[in-house]
Structure 1
Amino acid sequence: SYVTNKLMLICAPLLCCLAGMMQGVYGAGSCQLMVKFIPGSVYQAGDVVIGGLFPVHLMAPQPETEFQSEKVNAFCEIFHQRAYRWLQAMIYAVDEINNNPDLLANFTLGYLAADTCLAESITLLTAMSIVTGQEAHLAKSECGSVCLFLFYILTVSYSNGHSYSSQVSYLASCGCLSDKRRYPLFFRTMPSDAAEARAMAVLLRLMGWAWVGLVSADDDFGRSGMQMLIEALRGTEVCVAYNEVIPKDYPKMRIQRIVKTIQKSTARVVVIFLKDMDALFEEVVHQNVTDKQWIANDPWVTYRAFSVPRYVSSLAGTIGFALRKADIPGLGAFLTRINPHSPNSDPFVKELWETLFGCSLSGGLGQTFLYADLSQLRVTYNVYKAVYAIAYTIKDMLACEPGKGPFLEGQCPDVEMLQPAQIAHYLPKVNFTTPLKEWMNFDENGDTPASYDIINWHVTVQGTAEFVTVGHFVPSQGSDGQFHIDMDRVVWGGGNRHKVSLFVPVSVCSSPCPPGTRKAVQKGSPVCCFDCLPCAKGEISNKTGSLECVRCPERFWSSSDHTVCVPLQLDFLSYGDTMGIILSIVSTVGAALTAATFATFLCYRHTPLVKWSTNTVNTIFMLLLSLKLCFLCALTFIGQPAAWSCKLRHTLFGISFVLCISCLLSRTMVVLVAFHSTLPGENLMPVLILFISVLICVLWLTLAPPRPTERDSMDKRGPKIILECAMGSVVAFSLVLGYIGLLACLCLLLAFMARKLPDNFNEAKLITFSMLIFCAVWVAFVPAYISSPGKYTVAVEIFAILASSYGLLLCIFAPKCYIILLRPEKNSKKHLMAR
């Protein structure tokens, strides 16, 4: 077997009978048990003795591998002051419990604390010595009369996963130890690495660090911790840029390559799962890596060896998790009583004094007292809680009523002859509040509720690092935990050499996609590395980091920046458009000019020119009235199409132009057939021609009237809804246009034939010219109407109406109004009859 986990607290019966069996067997033969002592220990008797193993020294002597002689004058080296404080904390807790009559009345705890030298061989040897009773002052006990039972803090774990005693560890954090199938008797007051990994994952998500690097040790602690962190990050938006593993022998070239990877990576946040960081950070300082935010695990987040100025330029702003700090009342006063001249001093005090004061005690030290720094009681508090867990377990055992016990036939445990199964039954059920008012229990995995201080490395005026508590992580049922951090107190890594950053570092593979774009994962890259693609037309994304764009609902379209859906533009010729305003003005002016012409003719109706123009049925006034209707007809084409406006615009257009052309046709026939004479039936001709047009319009409105409709269209600015008037019946519309065209062609032909008749005013020439303009306008109208998009179709139709109307008005009436108003001498019978 070999050591895989360090510093555990184990509860086991003293195997006195096993010791006797071993003594009997080996005494009868040539083999003897060579080691019969524990190299360094502190002992106090009690009804139950709590045994503890502590690495008071950090270097053990080389073991005897021949197994033929006992090694003498072999001492452990490098005194470990923190571990010695842990040992004293165990003694203090035992004394505090024994002095508390409310906890274990009429019952005394003892202790046996031993040094393991942080060596597997000595740890295993010491543990077996305690269990088998080979300690000198234990050997005096008579085996079979009173057997002692030990709870001891042990650093060993058997390779097959089995042990014959319950274990309560104060420093073993490996998540593997939570496996009850392999370690059914294991418990701990040290939080599992799984809890720390979950806390790290919460921190990464909280700070928005989506692109991180991982560095771990090639041991159980590093591999297990990093695997649990990766599992905690699974399904989140945090991706791993690299995952480097440092070998156990710390090869220099490998360390250099890892640090170069850290420095070149775009991931500014580096998560460390290591216990021995010296080799790594020596190279970090050597390569001048100063732009990283380090996330530290316990215990190196409070490792004072890195707080010196040499490391601060690279490590300032480090943030990480440390065991909750506690203030144990009375422990400070207890430690100050430690004195090498005390009659009850332990074998470690002399070495402690020489290490602290750098002197030798051979000449004496007087009455100097020990000053104890109790500002970072973290592991010490775990030892304190472990002892109390044992005491409350014994209390529950002592409280058992005979006949009502949890074992066979209601038996209660015999504290003097405890069995591992009995301890394993009571220990998981322990539930108490420590003297520091902290609730304490074990879960189904033998773990206690995990809580951490969030430590941040601040830079002092002297250039050293100060460990400042900026928040807490406490367990929360049904979640990963509750994270409390004072962001105003945190300083961040990645600043310059003389000043840490006051802003949270940004560590992302790709910057978040802004609204209006979506993520597109880069092929072969983690999900955190992506491109930002603009949303397609008609789609939007209104938040940062959208995975998909959303299609706009019907009658809506995306804005120019694709962030909101806006109603589709309604495209029609309105009075508010510039084009609509111009056409309205032109139409109104035309109607006004027609009305003015009508008034002029009415005022000068007794003059020869007017009398000649308005003879018989006054067709000239009908022509002016029809022209006015043509101008006003254009106004019905402007504005949002409605059912009434669609019907009105087309019928008014057809009737007004037919009436206008019929009047001109009648005038032309008068000139042609009877020069200065009245044509028989002249009064009825416009009426008959108009009747046909009215009949077509009535049938059109009855069978398939024009109606408002919508049509989707697309231009360079996006889609739009075109509001227009559907013809209803293309045949009817074609008949109206065809009928007008037929009348216009006939009128043009007749006017052309009469253009050279002896007429002083020569009205036939004016009609011919006006008809030429009329026909040219409407011939050009057809292709322009077909090719024009949206509201421009209506504009072309209005333009054709106004152009042809102005052509008729100006060609026919402008010369007459010129004579009437400006050349009155020509408005005489003599002048008109001159030829």
Structure 2
Amino acid sequence: MKTSVLWPLVLLLHKVCKTSANCQLRDFYPIHHQYYQPGDVIVGSTVLLSFLLSSPKAFNQQPPHMLPEESFVVTKNYQLVLALVFAVQEINENPQILPNITLGFHIYDTHSDSMLTYQTTMQLVSTRNRFVPNYKCDFQDNLITVIGALHSKASHQIANVFSIYKVPQLLVGSAPQMMDTTKIICSYWMVPSEALQYMGILHLLLHFQWVWIGFIADDNGETFVQIMLPILIQHGICIAFIETYPKNVNFDDDNEGILKRGEDIYGQVMNSTANALVFYGDVDSMIFLLLLLNLPELNDMIQKPKGKVWILTAEMEFKALVFQRGWDIQMLHGAISFAIHSNELSGFQPFLQSRNPSNTQEDGFFKDFWEQAFNCMWPNASLEKINGNICSGQERLENLPGPVFEMSVTGHSYSIYNAVYAVAHALHSMHSSSSKRTATMQGRRRQFQNHRPWQLHHFLKHVSFNNSAGDKVSFDKNGEVVAGFDLFNWFTFPNQSFVRVKVGRVDPQVPSDKAFIVNEDTMVWPSWFHQKRPLSVCNDNCHPGYSKKKKEGQPFCCYDCIPCPEGKISNQKNMDDCFRCPGDKYPNKDQTLCILKVVTFLSYEEPLGIGLAIGAISCSFLTTLVLGLFMKHHNTPIIKANNRNLTYTLLLSLLLCFLSALLFIGHPEKVTCIFRQTAFGIIFSVAVSCVLAKTITVVLAFMATKPGSRARKWMGKSLANSIVLSCSLTQAVICTVWLATSSPFPDVDMHSMTGQVVLECNESSPTMFYCVIGYIGFLATTSFSVAFLARNLPDSFNEAKFITFSMLIFCSVWLSFFPNYMSTKGKYVVAVELFSILASSAGLLSCIFFPKCYIILLRPELNNKEQLIRRKA
């Protein structure tokens, strides 16, 4: 089947005088058009001085019927022609612009063939009806500017010729980044820069968090891929697949090849886990996309379609060939498309509705368009029998489905409309500038005749006006129109109609943080996703509490989810790594958030602190009672027998030991941190030194009773005092060195206890701390050893037995202290040390003094000298 497309290509604008006594009415230059393969639109401008016309006639010559019997027309392109006609009529009826001048136009065809494109282009620099390039001997076709084309390839080919002559070209197709701009030096772009569309696509994908996408492009999409791919990767977006399709779908000699290529792409699309697909194409690409989506209807062997979100670029328009108008378009429901910014033009829809056979006698496109659009044929006397419906002329354009014809202005039609006005305003400025230098008609004619295309550049660069829709039209320094892109969401219906709803905008004229706007609340999604925002990821998202782990051999968007290690969290989806909470916070059970830690220390307000404080005070009170009892019975034999001063010193040191325990309870302060360990160390050294002195005194006292013993000379208070003083001073020196070199200080421990910030005293120097404890242990071990050796002395003199038991308890407590101290954390470290102080002190008090208290209070008969000197039998 041979398919042809009605495609207006070259629209030449002419300037002729509107009112003049010297004007001669001549037939207007006829429209030249043919039926051909998909092409582009070019609009040019000529100045006619010799052949003048009082009123324009848009179509004044019926072209011969050249449409083959089995050819088709892309009816939707007819709006492009009508947009030009509408703009020309408005300008010619407006006395404020180009007064006394009438615009006309010619339509030329590039045939989407490079050779024919160049041939058509060269016709514009040749004398009428004589193809002699660069030779013009008349003033009928004095080319001023060209408007076109929709295809980048045709624009490039036309620019190769017109750039030589510096003819201004107003292009309504692809933006500069898609071409070699060095060769298009005389061009003005009626569409925004392609870079703006790249930014829009990127922001769209990031907004909806689509990081796993498919990409389908025509044969010319290589540049798009080369530019977009690094940008997408930089922002964490991966390409699931890249497919290309043939640019020109002619359905003639290679139907099988086209269908095979379509089946390959269809399989890739439907088998991919990517739900967001970017479809890059030009104005004709919708023809292939419709074929792609309807392959299951053409081949029962192909798998049924799955829901996908199609993201369409601004160059594409929703159009279909005649035989495609009945095809299902439901797969495009919820699609998102970029479009050249446009607004409804006042009077454009009534203008379209007015097109009918009675007022389009000079429209060479009308009858062919009408037949193809309404699937009918006009009555023809040359045909004996007409197969199918007969056109009545009463059909209405507004009843046509969107893919066939739209009543609303499209982005490309809007660009053509603005391009015609841009040329008109530039010509008006150039004409006004010339009119200031001469006022005669003859002079004016000669100025028109002497105008050259390059002279219009100055006026086009500075053109700026508001069109009938209220939009400002102007060019930037690069010759690109200052405009943005609209974002549309498609609603499709079973009757092949559709509605495009504007849901956003890409605007380069606002701050970058507001350049991309999308209103998700008004959007619809493909029915496959049940009106929920689709996900487009390589695999399921990693929930909070997990982090991503890259899969070997896969793109970075494909990963496994692993739980966060202990002590770390992830509070967002798809985090690359887990992180630790700040020091004052800790992870919750699910490792999804950080919870503020509780500030804790061993205080008087909690049971543990209260219990230890009561224990310390109780022991202190008990020690005070024992001391008072001993002082009351100061002169009794049992008190005198063991060095009363040494006993009182030991009781006072034990009292201070119990009281020093209170320094370990409460909020750590600088003073308490400095004195708690040193006071404990020195006081405990005094206590243990007293025990050691008492033990040595007991041993010497027993030895002194033996005849001829030399121990008598060691007996006396001086020995005991020397032992206590020397041992205590040694500990005092150790504590002084500790305080002088690295004294303890208040500190905050945020890590040892989960969920707690522990206020503590930092010992600063663990070595000095262990030296203090070790020295006390040394004294206790020495005392225990001496007492153990004296355990078999006679009962009446055997205080060493009680000292042995007390030292056994003392050493046991402090030997268990070290492993408990090392394994305990937080405030319980302080509690362990505090308990050890109380337990060891209580052991000394009970083992050494309670037996004496028992005799004093309950067995006073034993408290006499005879009993004390009685030897064991």
Bucket of the pairwise TM-score, normalised by the shorter protein: 0.7 to 0.9
- Once the two structures are overlaid, the 10-residue window that deviates more, 516-525 or 374-383, is 516-525
Task: State the alpha-carbon separation in 2 of the partners of residues 281 and 513 from structure 1.
Answer: 33
Match of 2:279, SS? strand
The residue number in structure 2 matching 1:206 is 207
Alignment check: 8 A CA contact 1:302 1:322 kept = no
Residue 708 in structure 1 maps to residue 739 in structure 2:
no
Q: Does 1:647 align with 2:645?
A: no
Structure 1 distance, partners of 2:357, 2:605, is 103
CA deviation profile, 1:735-756 (whole Å, cap 9, x unmatched): 665455445544444453233x
Residue 32 of structure 1: aligned partner: none
Distance, in Å, in 1 between the alignment partners of 2:78 and 2:769 is: 105
Q: Which residue number in structure 2 is paired with residue 449 of structure 1?
A: 482
Q: 1:689 aligns with which of 708, 712, 723?
A: 723
Residues 105-116 of structure 1: matches in 2 within 5 Å?
105-113=99-107
TM-superposition CA deviations, 1:592-622 (whole Å, max 9, x none):
333344455566x49xxx8331247645555
Shift of 1:667: 5.6
Residues of 1 paired with 2:393 and 2:597: CA distance?
Answer: 91
112-121 or 450-459: bigger deviation: 112-121
SS of the residue 1:109 aligns to = strand
Alpha carbons of structure 1 residues 178 and 10: separation in structure 2 relative to 1, 3 Å: farther
1:305-329 C-alpha deviation (Å, 9 max, x unpaired): 8999974553321111133343222
TM-score, structure 2 as length reference: 0.71
Q: CA deviation at 1:507?
A: 2.0
Which amino acid is the alignment partner of residue 148 of structure 1? Answer: D
Query: How far off its partner does 1:267 sit?
Result: 1.9
Are the aligned partners of 1:168 and 1:186 in contact in 2 as well (CA < 8 Å)?
yes
Structure-1 residue corresponding to 2:161? 163
Residue 304 of structure 2 is matched in structure 1 by 288
Instruction: Please point out which of 524, 534, 538 is paired with 1:505.
Output: 534
Q: Distance in 1 between matches of 2:9 and 2:462?
A: 19
Aligned residues of 1:403 and 1:412 also touching (Cα < 8 A): no
Q: CA deviation at 1:627?
A: 3.9
Change (3 A) 1:460 1:763: farther
Take 1:197 and 1:732, find their aligned partners in 2: how far apart are those partners?
A: 73
Q: Deviation digits for residues 132-179 of structure 1, max 9, x if unmatched?
A: 45569x99xx98564333456566557595213636456432646754
**Is 1:259 equivalent to 2:253 in the alignment?**
no
* SS of residue in 2 equivalent to 1:181: helix
Deviation at 1:12, TM superposition (A): 9.4
The aligned counterpart of 1:68 is: none
Task: Give yes or no for contact 1:214–1:243 (8 Å, CA) kept in 2.
Answer: yes
Partner of 2:455: 422
**Residue pair 1:630, 1:805 contacting (<8 A) in 2 also:** yes
The equivalent of 2:87 in structure 1 is 93
Say if 2:73 and 2:369, in contact at 8 Å, map to a contact too. Answer: yes
More moved, 273-282 vs 176-185: 176-185
Instruction: For 2:11 and 2:107, locate their aligned partners in 1 and report how far apart those are by CA, in whole Å.
Output: 12
> 2:148·2:171 contact (CA, 8 Å) conserved in 1?
no
Helix, strand or coil at the partner of 1:289: coil
SS in 2 for 1:92: helix
Q: Secondary structure at the match of 2:294?
A: helix
How far apart, in 2, do the equivalents of 1:52 and 1:526 lie? 57
Q: Distance in 2 between matches of 1:429 and 1:747?
A: 113
Instruction: Report the CA distance shift for 1:128/1:540 in structure 2 as closer, same or farther (over 3 A).
Output: same
1:593 alignment partner, SS class = helix
* Contact kept in structure 2, 1:90 and 1:384, CA below 8 Å: yes
Counterpart CA distance in 1 for 2:764 and 2:393 is: 112
Distance 1:157 1:354 in 2: 31
Seen in structure 2, the aligned counterparts of structure 1 residues 413 and 684 have a Cα distance that, compared at 3 Å, is farther
Q: Specify the code of the residue in structure 1 equivalent to 2:318.
A: T
- Helix, strand or coil for the counterpart of 2:105? strand
TM-score computed with the length of structure 1 as normaliser: 0.74
> Relative to structure 1, is the Cα distance of residues 536 and 77 closer, same or farther in structure 2, using a 3 angstrom cutoff?
closer
Among 361, 368, 380, the residue aligned to 2:379: 361
| 1:265-284 to 2 correspondences below 5 Å | 265-274=272-281, 275=285, 276-283=288-295
Structure 1 residues 672, 802: closer, same or farther in 2, change over 3 A?
A: farther
Q: Which residue of 1 aligns with 2:332?
A: 315
In the superposition, relative to structure 1, how do residues 309 and 201 fare at CA in structure 2: closer, same or farther (>3 Å)? farther
Task: Identify which range, 106-115 or 623-632, moves more after superposition.
Answer: 623-632
Give the 5 Å matches for 1:648-797.
648-663=679-694, 665-666=696-697, 673=704, 686-700=720-734, 705=739, 707-708=743-744, 723-724=762-763, 726=765, 728=768, 737-739=777-779, 741-755=781-795, 762=796, 764=798, 767-775=800-808, 777-778=810-811, 781=814, 785=818, 788-789=821-822
Amino acid aligned to 2:807: F
Please, which runs of 5 or more residues in structure 1 have no aligned partner? Answer: 15-35, 62-73, 406-410, 756-761
Asked if 1 retains the 8 angstrom alpha-carbon contact of 2:549 and 2:559, the reply is yes
Contact kept? 2:434, 2:447, Cα under 8 Å: no
What percent of counterpart residues are identical?
Answer: 26
Question: What residue number does 1:611 align with?
Answer: 636
Q: How does 1:288-687 map to 2 (within 5 A)?
A: 288-298=304-314, 300=316, 302-303=318-319, 311=328, 313-342=330-359, 344-355=361-372, 356=374, 358-362=376-380, 368=394, 371=397, 374-401=407-434, 414-458=447-491, 465-476=498-509, 482-493=515-526, 495-496=527-528, 501-509=530-538, 522-530=551-559, 561=591, 583-600=612-629, 605=633, 611-615=636-640, 618=644, 623-636=650-663, 640=668, 642-663=673-694, 665-666=696-697, 673=704, 686-687=720-721
Distance 1:338 1:556, change over 3 A: closer
Q: Structure 1 counterpart of 2:762, which letter?
A: L
Q: Deviations over 1:454-484 (max 9, x none)?
A: 2212355979653322223333378598223
SS of structure 2 residue aligned to 1:504:
coil
Residue identity matched to 2:313: N
Deviation of residue 734 (structure 1)? 6.0
Q: What is the letter of the counterpart of residue 662 of structure 1?
A: A
Deviation per CA, 1:620-650, whole angstroms, max 9, x where unpaired?
Answer: 5555444434444555566656222232111
Partner of 2:709: none
Deviation, structure 1 residue 243: 0.9
- Please give the alpha-carbon distance, in whole angstroms, between the structure 1 residues aligned to 2:736 and 2:115: 111
Q: Give the Å deviation of 1:438.
A: 1.7
Q: Does the CA-based 8 Å contact 2:98-2:428 persist in structure 1?
A: yes
Matches within 5 A, 1:40-189: 77-113=71-107, 132-134=126-128, 144=137, 146-150=139-143, 156=154, 159=157, 162-164=160-162, 166=167, 168=169, 171-173=172-174, 175=176, 179-189=180-190
CA, structure 1 residues 335+211, in 2 after alignment: closer, same or farther (shift >3 Å)?
closer
One-letter amino acid matched to 2:240: A
Shift of 1:652: 0.8
Distance 2:70 2:429 in 1: 39
- Find the aligned partners of 2:552 and 2:11 in 1 and give their Cα distance: 53
Larger mean Cα displacement after TM superposition, 180-189 or 703-712: 703-712
**1:210–1:237 CA contact under 8 A, matched in 2:** yes
Contact 2:178 2:224 in 1 (8 A): no
Relative to structure 1, is the Cα distance of residues 161 and 75 closer, same or farther in structure 2, using a 3 angstrom cutoff? Answer: farther
Q: Which amino acid aligns with 2:212?
A: W
Over 3 Å counting, the alpha-carbon distance change for 1:795 and 1:353 in structure 2 is closer
Query: Partner of 2:822: helix, strand, or coil?
Result: coil
Q: Distance in 1 between matches of 2:66 and 2:515?
A: 43
State the AA in 2 paired with 1:163. Answer: V
